[in-house]
Structure 1
């Protein structure tokens, strides 16, 4: 796994500042803001491909419960809504209060059921995501059919290491496993980690996750080497 150095991009203070500004811009001029990632070239194309993956493997007719980790301004969840997913099955969490406020205001302006998407403030590594109404009464663990991430894992990997030199991102795979139902899917898009690195981090005995599929992104050639700006990999939790 890449040994990334801590950066302001891995701090809550940075994202609070970003979304405070974007919320102000939305309220003033209606600008919904960036499809944020630790680099701006993440773009809408990756979001569209994640929606296409969902339509193929977990179609809207399945009524699967979907949680986006680090939902930002809600772009991915709005994309799923536009693709026909029931908004009451969609949920987004973010540890930045400004991001949650921005997503809710955009949802209110969009209408068309977007207001029924659940957006809540939650630190994925520490807190329990709000359970959807359709699963009320269930334990918080093993609740979700699908977890999605478009850059949050990358940002967490840029957080400060603890006194033992461990990155906070090391806790992430275990959280995914705890929250996914057996047979559930985890789809992640990363610009900081290769497909092989993501496989190494998530397909361990401790996680009970198995490689499922990948999304092919545009490839670029530079200096005689070819590669993609980002990697998208899907995993599935083992059945009992």
Structure 2
């Protein structure tokens, strides 16, 4: 029987100017993929440069984390955008991070939209297709990461891209397998033990318990660790240890599909 395996990714590089967020250096010791902010919801050129260099030093796969242009709202506010705007925003941000990766003698490995853009593309087929097209036009070898079972990985696969179906250890799920909106008080799982138990259920049982107690099937290739948690480093360390102890191979996402 094949040993279960999973990629462990983290959203990072979200500091901006003198404002510092996250524990990126510590988290990078425990994950296999880094989704690096590209300046629209967080991050700036120096932060992008430093985060790419740190990921390269740790042997962690580099991914672009494009967002809606929303620094004040951290990319979590819904905006009405056209498909062409989604395409241009995504292509622009991939290009920026790709330049830093190239300068560090590395390359981009994947693309994962952030926040509201991610959730919009999970539901909206037109936006999902525009984002997938931007990824393919930037580099057809990139892996497109999106919410497991949603419109975004489906759009990527339809264009011949490799895709990664993503699940979350520390977010609650609704009955339709969407993430519980952050405006709800129980949207985020703060208890590390509860979050780890959810991750293990997803990886070993291919299911998740929803906010209202239903058990849903959920197939995932990668699990997200949110870098903006106050305890992000501890969470990443304990989650990685739990996966290792359970005999789950933690390895870089290689994508499904084409």
Question: What is the TM-score of this pair, normalised by structure 2?
Answer: 0.34
Structure number with greater CO (CA < 8 Å, separation at least 6) is 2
Question: What is the TM-score of this pair, normalised by structure 1?
Answer: 0.36
